[in-house]
Amino acid sequence: QVQLVESGGALVKPGGSLRLSCAASGFTFSDYYMSWIRQAPGKGLEWVSYISGISNTYTNYADSVKGRFTISRDNAKNSLYLQMNSLRSEDTAVYYCARDNCRGGRCFEDFWGQGTLVTVSS
Amino acid sequence: EVVLTQSPGTLSLSPGERASLSCRASQSVSSSHLAWYQQKPGQAPRLLIFDASSRATGIPDRFSGSGSGTDFTLTISRLEPEDFAVYYCQHYGSSSYTFGQGTKLEIK
């Protein structure tokens, strides 16, 4: 069955950096776009970034993280990453890794990991 | 960017009742690229509905989605105790995704 397991969440100071990882199993990882979506404590969902599958050609970012976060993947390791730099207090959230189900160039998230908590605080 | 507004913010109903949750888009959503997710406390969201009205694998048929253009509805025909949760709608656009703020469905 599809499994997504995030790791790397931690307490970090403002201005610091962190790298999140997501280990995927149960499906052909390289066939799928993947996304990161976050949820601040007690708040709703916010899409962060996505990356295309086998070619790694396409990435996109929410305006709130553009220039600070970088999404990447290693298809040989079935792993997704999110490098987060210049972290701010407003980046505090649970970060979910999700598999994208794409139809006609539009994608929704059909499987989600359990999330990893990132806390940005001095 | 499409802005999604969900209503009501909180819906209080009893098991066995019918629930209707609304999601309104700030502009017409082409080809019904609208999904619904359920989230229980401490859990990840779960996909319920995609393309406005298609049920995801394993989702009971008491869940149904409808609508087009700017107005979409998630209907739960007969509430079970496990259905009380927060529900989010999502527009999946050509280059970004947006979520509504959520509707909390609570036991009356």
> What local confidence, expressed as pLDDT, does residue B31 receive?
63
Locate A99 and state its tokens: 């598999």
Chosen from B10, B92, B99, B101 to mutate, greatest number of chain A CBs within 10 A = B92
CA distance, residue B55 to nearest chain A CA (Å):
11
Residue A22 has pLDDT above 90, yes or no: yes
SS3 B69: strand
**Averaged pLDDT for residues A52-76:** 90
**Considering chain A, what percentage of its residues have pLDDT values greater than 90?**
90
Residue B106 has pLDDT above 70, yes or no: yes
Residue B29 has pLDDT above 90, yes or no: no
Q: Which of B56, B99, B102 sits opposite A110 (nearest CB)?
A: B56
Q: Taking CB atoms and an 8 Å limit, are A47 and B99 in contact across chains?
A: yes
Residue B88 at interface with chain A, using a CB cutoff of 8 Å:
yes
CB neighbour class for B66 (10 Å; exposed up to 12, middle 13-18, buried from 19):
middle
Residues 6+ apart with CB under 8 A from A60: A49, A50, B95, B96
Residue B30 has pLDDT above 80, yes or no: no
pLDDT band at A102 (very low <50, low <70, confident <90, very high): confident
pLDDT band at A56 (very low <50, low <70, confident <90, very high): low
Locate B11 and state its tokens: 């819906």
**Averaged pLDDT for residues A11-26:** 98
Residue A57 has pLDDT above 90, yes or no: no
> What local confidence, expressed as pLDDT, does residue B78 receive?
96
**Averaged pLDDT for residues A37-64:** 91
Q: Taking CB atoms and an 8 Å limit, are A45 and B37 in contact across chains?
A: yes
Q: List, as ranges, residues 49-108 from A with C-beta within 8 Å of B.
A: 50, 60, 62, 96, 101, 103-108
Q: CA A33, CA A42: separation in Å to the nearest integer?
A: 28
Q: Which of B45, B56, B92 sits opposite A106 (nearest CB)?
A: B92
